[in-house]
Amino acid sequence: MRAAIFTAPDASPVCADFPEPTVPPGSEPLQLVGAGLHNVVRGLATGRHYGRGQMRYPLVPGIDAVARTSDGRLVYTGYARPPFGTMAERLFAPFQADVPAGADPLAIAAGMNPSLSGWMVLTARRRELGALGTVLVLGATGTSGSLAVQGALALGAERVIAAGRDQGTLEQLRGEGATTVSLAHDGPDSLERALADVVSETAPGLVLDYLWGSVAEAAFAALGRSGEDVEADTSYVQIGTLAGAKAALPADLLRSRRIRITGSGVGSVSHEEMLAEAPEVMARFADGTLHLPYTAFPLSRIGEAWAHTGRSRVVVVPD
Ligand SMILES: NC(=O)c1ccc[n+]([C@@H]2O[C@H](COP(=O)([O-])OP(=O)(O)OC[C@H]3O[C@@H](n4cnc5c(N)ncnc54)[C@H](OP(=O)(O)O)[C@@H]3O)[C@@H](O)[C@H]2O)c1
């Protein structure tokens, strides 16, 4: 079968023949409809993601997809076993959930991974407290951050603060109901001031951080400034590292505010927990609550797909 193939971590992917995926007895392979090119897919294929384990090459990249079963159903599927990733004409992964009628299958392929990253955290917090209160999303102009803002609004947050750099995307999120704060500032002091101004109005009960690095440091300083309310409780959840892999944590933040800092990702959230939310998230794509721009590339143009740098999520489709 035709597939996208990585022969080494530092090689560019090519479209070539690859063996058929291993399928358990009694199961049939699935036909690819679309597989999202997420940050985790890039990181695993090139050996840079912390969840990579022992990668062996050659391999087919891709962790999830929308695919067609042998009896014609459209399913969202995930957690294929290496070296058989999802960017191939045929694939097999143990988890399969029906795509609801009316949903755009390519939007599901593009959006499930980035949307689940925020949705899992939001629904866990709502179960814990019964309400979301004020939610701050750091990195709200990225794919996952924008979907987290949409998710928080849909799940009834009182106030959603969307912090990011791109003005156009911030304006769009404001139009959807978020309060926005620009992170397009030079220097840590102005970043901290921008965040302090917005969190001093209502301190966030939940922070979803897709950036870490210097932005997290500015957020820690801003949260430390507005910590007089001893009843306020903040859950700060680390999800992505687009602004840096490390951030210095000031000790006085931990004393001046009731704050818990945790992370969400491969290893801290089980596949079962993620998959339990998949039908609800797909329903939100079907009714338009969650939406994102995507660009489809056929398997034969995998090199171009990998090099794509626009704001839309790449979805790899069969030729
Ligand atoms: N743990 C999980 O379950 C999980 C799941 C999905 C994603 N993630 C991680 O979350 C992060 C975001 O993923 P994504 O899918 O949203 O990626 P993406 O769509 O590629 O987002 C890129 C955005 O990051 C922003 N950015 C980069 N550096 C920045 C900086 N220094 N300050 C402010 N903004 C910056 C850019 O915003 P501007 O355009 O405004 O400049 C850009 O739009 C990645 O690290 C990804 O690996 C984790």
> 126 CA distance to ligand 1 centroid (A)?
24
Q: Phi first, then psi: give them for residue 152, nearest 5 degrees.
A: -65, -40
Task: Tell me the CA–centroid distance for residue 164 and ligand 1, in Å.
Answer: 10
CB atoms < 10 A from the CB of 218, how many? Answer: 27
The 10s digit of each residue's pLDDT in 277-286 is 999 999 999 9
pTM for the full model? 0.95
Query: Which whole number is the average pLDDT over 142-147?
Result: 98
- What is the total count of domains within the chain? 2
CATH code, 195: 3.40.50.720
Q: How confident is the model at residue 79 (pLDDT cuts 50, 70, 90)?
A: confident
Ligand 1 centroid distance, CA of 137 (Å)? 11
pLDDT in the model for residue 46 = 85
pLDDT value at residue 228: 63
Both tokens of 135, joined, read 């939610």
Q: Are residues 132 and 45 in the same domain?
A: no
Residues 145 and 258 in one domain: yes
Higher per-residue pLDDT: 279 or 230: 279
Could you tell me the CATH number of the domain that includes residue 36? 3.90.180.10
Neighbours of 163 (CB within 10 A): 32
Residue 139 forms part of a structural domain: yes
What pLDDT does residue 273 have? 85
pLDDT for res 95: 87
Instruction: Kindly state whether residues 132 and 202 are assigned to the same domain.
Output: yes
138 and 220 in a common domain: yes
> What's the Cα-to-Cα distance from 122 to each of 8, 130, 149, 302, rounded to whole Å?
37, 11, 10, 34
- 176 and 239 together in one domain: yes
The closest alpha carbon to 51, from 276, 269, 313, belongs to: 269
Q: Which domain holds residue 94?
A: 2-98+289-317
Q: Does the structure show a pLDDT above 60 at 227?
A: no
What is the residue with the minimal CA distance to atom 32 of ligand 1? 243
**108 located within any domain:** no
What residue owns the CA closest to ligand 1's atom 30? 243
The sign of the CA dihedral 260, 242, 177, 152 is negative
Judge whether residue 5 has pLDDT over 70.
Answer: yes
Q: Does residue 122 sit in the same domain as residue 237?
A: yes
Provide the mean pLDDT of the chain: 93
For residue 230, pLDDT beyond 70 = no
User: Closest residue (by CA) to atom 43 of ligand 1?
Assistant: 142
Q: Mean per-residue pLDDT for 260-275?
A: 87
Task: Identify whether 105 is part of a domain.
Answer: no
Confidence of residue 165 (pLDDT cuts 50, 70, 90): very high
Q: Is residue 281 a part of any domain in this protein?
A: no
Judgement on whether residues 247 and 297 belong to the same structural domain of the protein: no
Whole-angstrom distance, CA of residue 102 vs CA of residue 4: 29
Nearest CA to ligand 1 atom 3: 265
Neighbours of 263 (CB within 10 A): 15
Among 220, 246, 263, identify where a domain stops.
263
Pocket of ligand 1 (CB under 6 A): 39-40, 113-114, 117, 139, 141-145, 164-166, 183, 210-211, 215, 239-243, 264-265
Res. 50: pLDDT tops 90? no
How confident is the model over 194-224, as pLDDT tens digits? 999 888 888 899 999 999 999 999 999 999 8
Least confident range of 13-22, 179-188, 244-253, 295-304: 179-188
Strands 14-17 and 2-5: antiparallel
Mutate to test the pocket of ligand 1, among 44, 146, 242 (most ligand atoms within 8 A of CB): 242
Last residue of a domain, one of 223, 247, 263: 263
